[in-house]
Structure 1
Amino acid sequence: MKTYTTRRALLWLCLALGGALPALAAAQENGRNIAREARIVVVNVERLLSESPRAQALSASIDAEFAPRRQQIQAEVKRLRELSDKLGQDTPNLSDREHLARSREIGDLERAVRRDQAILQEDLLERKMQERSRMAERINEIIASLRTRQGIDLVLTRTIWHRPAIDITDKVAQELEK
């Protein structure tokens, strides 16, 4: 009984698909005609935001802007290591009171360094996001301009796969450099 039901369901499925396939093929052909009429392009915005010469120059300038703060924190870390090593060496010769005072000093310095590192990371991330946002706005302006000049109907920014012929990312990158 079970085999009969399974075979019957498969038969109905085959008949349904057999009837639907010509309609699907016709719809697909119709879609191709519409796509040929429409001008569709692809812009890889993420690549522009990370790999374009302008993005790399912005990243380098931001790194240079934050370099002094980073060096200051590295100096504090070095001082922290030195104090910690010195405490380790001097521990047998120190009284409990001196050991406690130095330990507190090291703990305070360690908390300050961690706080400074967190603030630096937060400021750096905020600055990068500001510049990325400005650059994204500029990219959108360029895309809108190209869209009107070249009669583009649809601009895709994310695709799984596309033909290289419809990719205008390099054109947008050239406009971005001007």
Structure 2
Amino acid sequence: MKFSRVALIVGCALSLVAPAVMADSRIGFVNSDRVMRESTPAVQAQQRLEKEFSKRDGELQNMAKELQGMKADLEKNGLTLSASDRSKKEREFSDLNRDFQRRQREFREDLNQRRNEELATVLDRANKAVKAIAEREKYDIIFQEAVYASPAIDITDKVIKELDGAK
């Protein structure tokens, strides 16, 4: 009984103090996805990736077209070819298809690794920008993930401007 009275008194005291503490707190929110899509460093990173991997992507697209042509040729002329010619063409198709799948897998792995490297660099810069804004504007806490955030506490535009300004 005595414990519940103390708990009640402490609860009442906290409910009176909590709004005063919250009134002095500054809270912010950053939409990380938007930062990673719209900031200059993120856009430049995406352009570097596209430039770096465009040649290999083109080669893979050409291989895919060649495979489609070989398959269409086999389906169209397969019945008129001799057994040895048909077998030879099927083996060539199978070898090219295997090589294509291997190259495509290596391409995806290399692209994902480079994308992760580039995004890690952009994310590091974004976190530094968030920290600089938080210190400069006296924020108590800044969230990057939330189910809902009021536009009044959204500082994403400030972070993007900070990133775009800091080359």
TM over 0.5: yes
- Give a deviation string over 1:27-67, Cα, whole Å, max 9, x none: 44432211111222222223211333442342233123211
**Which residue matches 1:3?**
none
Which is worse superposed, 72-81 or 36-45? 36-45
Structure 1 residue aligned with 2:43: 56
Normalised to the residue count of structure 2, the TM-score between the two structures is 0.83
Partner of 2:20: 33
Unaligned runs of 5+ in 2: 1-6
Q: Which residue of 1 aligns with 2:79?
A: 92
Q: Within 5 Å, which residues of 2 pair with 1:65-104?
A: 65-104=52-91
Secondary structure at the residue paired with 1:151?
Answer: coil
Q: Which moved more, 1:30-39 or 1:126-135?
A: 30-39
The yes-or-no answer on 1:171 pairing with 2:158 is yes
Aligned to 2:122: 135
Q: Aligned residue for 1:121?
A: 108
Bigger Cα displacement from structure 2, 148-157 vs 21-30: 21-30
Whether 2:95 is the aligned partner of 1:112: answer no
TM-score computed with the length of structure 1 as normaliser: 0.78
Partner residue of 1:147 out of 126, 134, 150: 134
Distance of 2:53 and 2:92 partners within structure 1: 27
Distance 2:78 2:32 in 1: 58
How many aligned residue pairs are there? 159
Cα pair distance change 1:80/1:163, threshold 3 Å: closer
Residue 43 of structure 1 is aligned with which of 30, 36, 41? 30
Deviations 1:127-158 (A, max 9, x none): 11111110110011111212222222212112
Partners of 2:72 and 2:114 lie apart in 1 by 36
Pair 1:134–1:85, CA change in 2 (3 A): same
Read off the aligned partner of 1:49 and give its amino acid letter: M
Max Rg structure: 1
| Identity between Structure 1 and Structure 2 (%) | 30
